[in-house]
Structure 1
Amino acid sequence: MRIDRRRPARRHPARAVRLGQHWRRVAHELSTSYRVLAVDLRNHGASPWADSMSYLEMADDVLQLIERERLSRPAVIGHSMGGKVAMALALMYPKQVGRLTVVDIAPVPYADRLSAFAEAMRAIDTLHAASREEVRQRLAGMVPDAGVVPFLMQNLVARNAHFDWRLNLGAILGAIPTLCGFPQELRSLRFTRPVQVIAGARSDYVEQPDGEAFRPMFPQARVEVIEDAGHWVHADRPGTFIAAVRQALHGSTLAVTD
């Protein structure tokens, strides 16, 4: 598992925050106060590829990181699929997680919204593409939501004089049925520490602002809805999003041991 390490610029109680690779600005802002570990999950970014990627497996990947870094009950943040990984981690290993922030996702099954994007990316001949702009234009003409294209393009990298996706698209497509759901075997478990849910007002991923979808697994779940934000809350309203995360972390007494 590949991580991006960022140390706090000032002295504060040390905490670790789990973030996805697309969140560099968020990681940079939070690193002024906290120790931040920005994580690529398996089959994403610079992390190793694997044939399977269930939520139980990815939660174990993050646990191994926590243990390897000797983190003591870190705060854990995850968006979308990463949010489900974070929830699985907290349910499976509640003593290893101090505080949980889940961004615009709930522990419920969803219709498949992912395959169309992954199929479009795989259909583009990146090996013979002349430029990033060529790939961007082709992608914009193929996906159901052109607004997602800038986020998808962050996965395009130059490699040996040609372009390629830093995603294991085959494994991701094979795992779509699993990724759209949430592990049934975790539904009888409880995580009783504070859970902050940040939802975008223009998104329909968290349909119940009272947090009912998170109970009884997460009895302390509290939903905060950010206006004028869609599913990519951190990109649509970065200042408001970072302020909400800081407020939640400020009440934390979590520590990291080096």
Structure 2
Amino acid sequence: MLLNTIELGPENGDLSRPPVVFLHGLFGRGRNFGFFQRRIAATRRTLALDLRNHGQSPHGMMDYPTLAADVHETLSAHDALPATIMGHSMGGKTAMMMALSFPADVHSLLVADIAPAQGGLAQSQHLAAKMADLPLPDFLDRAGADALLAHDIAEKPVRDLMMMNLDLGEHPHWNIGIHEIARSMPAIIGWPTLAAGIHYDGPTLFIAGGQSRYIQPASYPMMRKLFPHYQLEIIPNTGHWVHAQAPAEFLHLMQQFLEAA
């Protein structure tokens, strides 16, 4: 599946270096990384992708091998391989699967606040099911949508994220594959069983939120087994949305990694 792609790059820069690819999390879209993409694009070619069922990409059932295959097919079509792959949450699991499935095409890997393990997104399964079954009125403006979503989503930032996926006005509707997402949630919460010995030898950086529980010490052995050269950086006083809560610190770590890798 070819994915919707936002591409930015320098007018006069070194395009010989691997491009940098951004993969968003569940219910997000490529333009969520606009702040980081614009800054990295000052010197590097960058591509931000809408994963399937998200943004303007086609819809279909999801699991991580399928998502990784979509990313690989899309980057190949853009002549953007090998690449540095950066992903957050669901996008981070997709980035890891891309590196494990197509190691020769991944120059380096940056994973934001997710581990190669079951779990980490379990609370989203209930949300996806609720949103798929949510009756929408004949007309909905932003205030009405916020009030409607507030019945099931207490956190304002999460409501704002979900509202990006609604076309408002007359005959409002989801502009994402909400039903496919809901049916795919067991696979998205999970992590596939991998063949013995599979691993990725390239440079790998995990960035975790200091107050997040998505990367736990119990996952370190598997992280080392699959990504033997990984490093872990923790940004204090941040949660799962580590890049949004500490953008300057996250950008600094990302730029350091890109220069060193």
- Shorter-chain TM-score above 0.5: yes
Matches within 5 A, 1:42-191: 42-50=52-60, 52-110=61-119, 112-143=122-153, 145-158=155-168, 161-186=170-195, 188-191=197-200
State the secondary structure of the residue aligned to 2:216.
coil
State the secondary structure of the residue aligned to 2:114.
coil
RMSD of aligned residue pairs (Cα, Å): 2.1
Cα distance in 2 between the residues matched to 1:187 and 1:198: 26
Structure 2: stretches of 5+ with no match in the other structure = 25-29
Structure 1: stretches of 5+ with no match in the other structure = 253-258
Does 2:14 align with 1:12? yes
Whether the 8 Å contact between 1:91 and 1:186 is mirrored in structure 2 is no
TM-score, structure 2 normalization: 0.88
Cα distance in 1 between the residues matched to 2:195 and 2:208: 23
Q: 228, 234, 239: which one pairs with 1:230?
A: 239
Cα distance in 1 between the residues matched to 2:95 and 2:206: 12
Aligned residue identity for 1:6 = L
| Count of aligned positions | 250
Q: From the superposition, tell whether residues 113 and 9 of structure 1 become closer, same or farther in structure 2 (CA, over 3 Å).
A: farther
Q: 204, 207, 213: which one pairs with 2:216?
A: 207
State the secondary structure of the residue aligned to 1:215.
helix
State the secondary structure of the residue aligned to 1:53.
coil
TM-score, structure 1 normalization: 0.89
Q: CA deviation at 1:123?
A: 3.9
Whether the 8 Å contact between 1:109 and 1:181 is mirrored in structure 2 is yes
Cα distance in 1 between the residues matched to 2:195 and 2:10: 34
Query: For residue 35 of structure 2, what is the aligned residue in structure 1?
Result: 25
Deviations 1:144-199 (A, max 9, x none): 6444222222222348x443222211111111111111110256311011111011
Same amino acid, percent of matched pairs: 29
Aligned residue identity for 2:149 = L
Q: From the superposition, tell whether residues 130 and 149 of structure 1 become closer, same or farther in structure 2 (CA, over 3 Å).
A: closer
Deviations 1:106-156 (A, max 9, x none): 000016211222133234434524301211122123126444222222222
Q: 239, 243, 252: which one pairs with 2:248?
A: 239
Cα distance in 2 between the residues matched to 1:167 and 1:243: 32
Q: From the superposition, tell whether residues 187 and 100 of structure 1 become closer, same or farther in structure 2 (CA, over 3 Å).
A: farther
Whether the 8 Å contact between 1:45 and 1:155 is mirrored in structure 2 is yes
Pick which of 22-31 and 32-41 moved more: 22-31
Cα distance in 2 between the residues matched to 1:53 and 1:145: 26
Query: For residue 250 of structure 1, what is the aligned residue in structure 2?
Result: 259
Q: CA deviation at 1:243?
A: 1.2
Aligned residue identity for 1:192 = D
Q: CA deviation at 1:251?
A: 1.4
Query: For residue 255 of structure 1, what is the aligned residue in structure 2?
Result: none
Cα distance in 1 between the residues matched to 2:115 and 2:46: 24
Whether the 8 Å contact between 2:132 and 2:182 is mirrored in structure 1 is no
